[in-house]
Structures are given as structure tokens and as C-alpha cells.
Chains A and B, each alone.
Chain A
Amino acid sequence: KAGVTQTPRYLIKTRGQQVTLSCSPISGHRSVSWYQQTPGQGLQFLFEYFSETQRNKGNFPGRFSGRQFSNSRSEMNVSTLELGDSALYLCASRAGSSGVREQYFGPGTRLTVT
């Protein structure tokens, strides 16, 4: 099976702009989670989508949003970018059924805000 794919891999944006990141999960996986990774804060959970519904949400401002499509692909949007949003954004997928917890990660999107 193909792994989790994320596009684009690298992105440079300016403060105030918005950005959309994309994630395609492993075939058959219905759950997609997003994480922000920075040197100072480590891995922080943004949100999880399962069957097109947000199932769980971390402690991030409303500028961070996401959605999931019927084919389980997910997008994450960040509006009004701030310098502090510079990070590696990781997407992870899992089967989603209860008891199946291991997640499989994509390579990430490196976002730089200038």
C-alpha cells in the first residue's frame, strides 16, 4: 500500500496570507489527524477527522481549520498567517475503528512564514 502523502512538501508564505495543506491517507484509512511540530513546542495535536467529521480538536486558535472529503483526503487551512505558524505540519492516518490506535505519518509540509 502507498503511504500517507502530503502536498506540498515545502511552502513559503508571507504574514497575513492564508495557506491550504493537503493530505492523502493510506488506502482504507478513515481517520486523519494533523499535528504541528516546532522546535520549541514539539508535536502538538491540531485536530482529527473521521468520516468527514471532526472528532477531536487540540488547543489552537480558530485560524486553523480543516476538512475531510468523502475519499478520506483531508485539507488543513491556516488563515491570517503569523510568523509563529512556521512549522512542520504532519498528517497521520489510521484505520479509525475503535481499538486501532497506531498512526502512520506522512513526510510533512514545511511551512515558512516571512
Chain B
Amino acid sequence: AQSVTQLDSQVPVFEEAPVELRCNYSSSVSVYLFWYVQYPNQGLQLLLKYLSGSTLVKGINGFEAEFNKSQTSFHLRKPSVHISDTAEYFCAVSDLRNNDMRFGAGTRLTVKP
């Protein structure tokens, strides 16, 4: 079965600095990959997805992620963060054999002024 590891549980960063949230996955078959964001007291919102094609995926709110098959990674990046980006970020994987989706443990991004 597929699995996801988010390498950092917490990432503090200053406003306008760049940020990278790391995600590695494990699967024996091809996968779909996702990043979701969760603001306090809300559900998860889809940031971006990789299904096939270009390995650089652009999402909402200025985020992008790069799929690296050889390193089985799907890191999320933003060149300049805002206070409003403070939230929990989840990486998720779904393999092509079945219908379920596995989530990482989450990374709490805190943007400081």
C-alpha cells in the first residue's frame, strides 16, 4: 500500500521569506499526488495536484510543487509567504490500483511578522 511521510512537523518562517514543505511517498505503482491546506477550524482545501505530465505543478495562493519520481518526493514551495499562509499542510497520495487516499501527518507552517 502507498504511504506518505512529511519530513517536518513544524516550519516557522518570517513573512516574505521562501518556504519548502517536504513530502516523500512510497508506492509500488504510479501515483497521484496532492497537497491540501487546513486553516484553523476548517476542513481541508485542495492546493494543487499532480496526475501526469509536467512535473512542476502550480496551485492556488502562489504555491507550486515538483514531482520527482526518482526521489519519490513531492515538495511544496512558495517564493514569498504571507501571514495568511499560516496553516496546516497535508501531502496525500493515491495510487492507480485502488480508490483510497493516504495522508501525511501534516506540517504546521507558521509565518511570523
Contacts and interface: CB of A to CB of B under 8 A. Distances in A.
| Real binding pair | yes
B46 interface: yes
Interface residues on A, range: 20 to 34
Contacts of A92: 43-44
A17 to B, nearest CB: 24
B46 A45 contact: no
Task: Tell me the dominant secondary structure on chain A's binding face.
Answer: strand
Contacts, number: 50
A45 B51 CA distance: 21
Nearest to B103: A43
Contact of A108 (B42, B90, B103): B42
B32 interface: yes
Contacts of A31: 99
Given A101-B32, A102-B34, A102-B49, A107 B99 contact: no
Contacts of A110: 41
B57 to A, nearest CB: 12
Interface in B40-63: 41-46, 49, 51
Q: Kindly list the 5 A-B residue pairs having the minimum CB-CB distance in the complex, ordered from nearest.
A: A105-B43, A105-B44, A43-B103, A101-B94, A107-B43
